Structure 1
Amino acid sequence: MKIVDLSRELYHGSPTYPGHPPIIHGVWKTHEDSFRDSGNVHGLSSMFISMPDHAGTHIDAFRHFNRGGQPINEYPLENCIVPGICIDLRHIAPRAEITPDDLAEAVKQSGHAVPKGGTVLLCTGHHERTFPRKEYASENSGVNVAATEWLAKQGVVHFGIDSMRPGPEGKVNSLVHKACGELGITHIESLCNLEALLGEGPFTFIGLPMKWRDGTGSPIRAVAVFGL
């Protein structure tokens, strides 16, 4: 069995979506503090973290798309362990729209069919090219509404991309979110290391969210598993 980690590392001050709260990670108690508090018996260090529910590599809940939509704590776990393929879209220019034809050709070039009830991971090369520079937050390519509809017609439960948003920055990105809500699929953002999947066969994608009550999304530890 081979496991490929597709998750961004979380650390203090790591990039978050423009306008979202920062990721704050700090020391809660040192070994010395805890040792003193325990009456000099034993010291245990601990830290704290504050972050938005769309921090790092994460999945969007339907609550994010629609008021009253399904929150992340109710998202089916069956959708979090699914067959997947990764397609190469690194030739698409920054800020450009990825079209249905782009997706169909990339799937053809991969040599693997889109798995029904599974996922398609879109390797645009954006994370590799820009992270963690400021361009990471704005220069991504992404799917348009027609491409989102194309993915839904293939029977995926979600798709993933190696940037902070599924569509290019601006109106198109908002419309892609709206379309996902209407089509009954979601997406995973801020993946990384997708280049390691190119040229490989289908894999099992695993990305389990935290059980945030009424959450609009959740960080996940995303991995691709071969030979499962």
Structure 2
Amino acid sequence: MSDHAGTHVDVPKHFDPSPGALSIDKMPIEDFYTEAICLDLSYVELKATISVKEMEDALTASGQEIKQGDTVLIYMAFNKRIPFDDPRWQHDFPGLSLEAVHWLADKGSRIFGVEAISPAPEGEPNFQAHNACGKRGITHIEGLDHLEKVAFR
């Protein structure tokens, strides 16, 4: 079974090699019971890296704010554009730039979520995003399905 078979949390231990990095059983349950906002980045091209400006624009358009400890859900309309059984589903997803991950941490978000199997486009951007999560003490949820139905009713 793929490690990306469903919705899951990439815990700090996944991307932080230090002995004290948290596994899922050590993460405070309170981290997962937060207020959440959803940013609409559904217009972002496949395989694109989402910039801080695009994140700021989406936040402004939402009329919301990111408060300390909030979860931020990133809607990219990925599952709507590429069906699960299409081979591109595992490779063509958009995602956050390294700077956008730092921006979320600077805003106070401890967890962010994406529809795709990773938080950033395949290759170096994805490696950088995972490492930034480790350095900043934040994490992310991958494989969120039906995000549009939850966030934009």
Q: What TM-score do you get using the length of structure 2 for normalisation?
A: 0.93
1:138 aligns with 2:129: no
- The percentage of counterpart residues that share the same residue type is 34
Among candidates 51, 54, 74, match of residue 122 of structure 1: 74
Does the Cα contact within 8 Å between 1:128 and 1:192 map onto a contact in 2?
Answer: no
Letter paired with 2:6? G
Q: Deviations over 1:32-83 (max 9, x none)?
A: xxxxxxxxxxxxxxxxxxxx4x531000111101123211110110001100
**Offset of residue 127 of structure 1:** 1.3
How many residue pairs were aligned? 150
Name stretches of at least 5 consecutive residues in structure 1 with no aligned partner: 1-21, 24-51, 201-228
More strand by share: 1
- Residue 88 (str. 1) matches residue 40 (str. 2): yes
Q: TM-score, normalized by length of structure 1?
A: 0.63
SS in 2 for 1:82: coil
Change (3 A) 1:156 1:141: same
Instruction: Give the CA deviation at 1:197.
Output: 3.6
> Which residue of structure 2 lines up, in the alignment, with residue 110 of structure 1?
62
Matched residue, 2:108: 155
What stretches of structure 2 of length at least 5 have no aligned partner? none
Of 113, 116, 121, the match for 1:168: 121
- Distance in 2 (CA, whole Å) between partners of 1:56 and 1:198 is 19
What is the root-mean-square deviation in Å for CA atoms of aligned residues? 1.3
> Highest Rg: 1 or 2?
1
Distance in 2 (CA, whole Å) between partners of 1:110 and 1:194 is 15
1:65 equivalenced with 2:15 (yes/no): yes
Residues 1-228 of structure 1 correspond to what in structure 2 (within 5 A)?
A: 22=1, 52=3, 54-67=4-17, 68=19, 69-132=21-84, 133-199=86-152
Q: Which of the pair is proportionally richer in helix?
A: 2
